[in-house]
Amino acid sequence: MQSKYPAGRLPEPPNPIADDGDETRFCGTCAFSSACIAAGYDKPELAELQCLVEHVGPFRAGEHIFRTGDPFRAIYAVRGGTVKTRMVDKEGREQVLGFYLPGEVIGLNAIYPEHFPCDAVALDTAFFCRFSFPAMSALASRVPAVQKHLFRMLSKELGTASLLAGDHSADERVAAFLMDLAGRYAARGFSPTRFHLSMSRGDIANYLRLAAETVSRVLSRFRAQKLIGIEGRELELLDPVRLRAIGQALLPD
């Protein structure tokens, strides 16, 4: 659990931050940025966007952003930190649905049921932009770019959901998982070859439908084969080309 805070200093409990004085900077990596820019920082729509967005956080590792069954009122864009979504069945078994990095959006799967169908749990200290969904829908009716953006985000997530579907070997899954993360970090301007895994081996395993021991073994083998460097949760991709080849059946293109 790395923290961006000095050791011992606990961050504030989660609550809206009316204005952190830094919209433009973090918005550059945000999934909504193009919608926000389309709405126009210099146009009247900006005022409306400001009304419907709230900055919330920080949440610390293990804290819930929302819980299964909570009424759906808003979607959340990750501003910083990492989140996992998960379902817990009635026998208490956890099922990890996805990991979300800065700039990505959680809560879209709650629109239809009108209640969150899963938990969202912070994996490290995390911050969010909270968008009231009724307000967002109303805005989308008036601003086609916002509507288009929502459609695209929903459709995009449909595509990623079907990635996990296939029956593939543990090697393929792990390689594809690492390359997927790398691509998503790259898309947000982070290094695609060196990054920190915010999630435990157990979470990775659960997400990939493997046992934690299997993930551990595969990572060890990849290290022995000089495909990656890994120490704890610090990862370096040493041979992205070969990794991509291993995971290709699960990766786009």
Partner DNA sequence: CGCGGGGCTTGATCGGGATCAAGGCGGCGC
Partner DNA sequence: GCGCCGCCTTGATCCCGATCAAGCCCCGCG
**CA–CA distance, 253 with 238 (Å, rounded to integer):** 21
Nearer to a copy of itself, 183 or 229 (CB): 183
Closest CA to 181 of 105, 237, 116: 237
Hey, which residues between 96 and 135 contact DNA (CB under 7 A)?
none
Letters for 55-94 (x = contact with a copy of itself by CB under 8 A, - = none) are: --------------------------------x-xxx-x-
The CB-of-212 to a copy of itself minimum distance in angstroms stands at 13
Residue with tokens 């551990």: 216
CB 169 within 8 A of CB 210: no
| Phi and psi based region of residue 7 (left: phi greater than 0; alpha: psi -120 to 50; beta: remaining) | beta
Residues forming a β-bridge with 23? none
Q: Which helix (DSSP H) or strand (DSSP E) does residue 159 occupy? A: helix 144-161
The CB-of-13 to a copy of itself minimum distance in angstroms stands at 30
Letters for 213-252 (x = contact with DNA by CB under 7 A, - = none) are: xxxxx-xx---------x-xx-------------------
Hey, which residues between 107 and 126 contact a copy of itself (CB under 8 A)?
108-113, 117
Regarding 44 and contact with a copy of itself (CB under 8 A), the answer is: no
CB 143 within 8 A of CB 49: no
Regarding 140 and contact with a copy of itself (CB under 8 A), the answer is: yes
37, 51, 88, 154: residue in contact with a copy of itself (rule CB under 8 A) = 154
From residue 91, give the alpha-carbon distance in Å to each of 10, 94, 95, 121, 139.
Answer: 34, 9, 11, 19, 41
Regarding 165 and contact with a copy of itself (CB under 8 A), the answer is: yes
What is the widest separation between alpha-carbon atoms in the chain?
57
Enter the tokens of residue 69.
């069954």
Enter the tokens of residue 190.
């982070």
Enter the tokens of residue 116.
């969150």
> Which of DNA, a copy of itself, none does residue 235 bind to, with CB < 5 to 8 Å depending on kind?
none
The CB-of-175 to DNA minimum distance in angstroms stands at 12
**CA–CA distance, 171 with 247 (Å, rounded to integer):** 8
Q: Which helix (DSSP H) or strand (DSSP E) does residue 252 occupy? A: none
Asked whether the CA dihedral 93, 123, 129, 155 is positive or negative, the reply is negative
Count of residues of this chain found to bind DNA when the rule CB under 7 A is applied: 22
The CB-of-195 to DNA minimum distance in angstroms stands at 14
Regarding 151 and contact with a copy of itself (CB under 8 A), the answer is: yes
The CB-of-124 to DNA minimum distance in angstroms stands at 13
Stretch that binds DNA, among 40-48, 103-111, 165-173, 176-184 (CB under 7 A): 165-173
Chain residues in the site for a copy of itself (CB under 8 A)? 87, 89-91, 93, 95, 97, 108-113, 117, 137-138, 140-142, 144, 147-148, 150-159, 161-162, 164-167, 209, 248-249
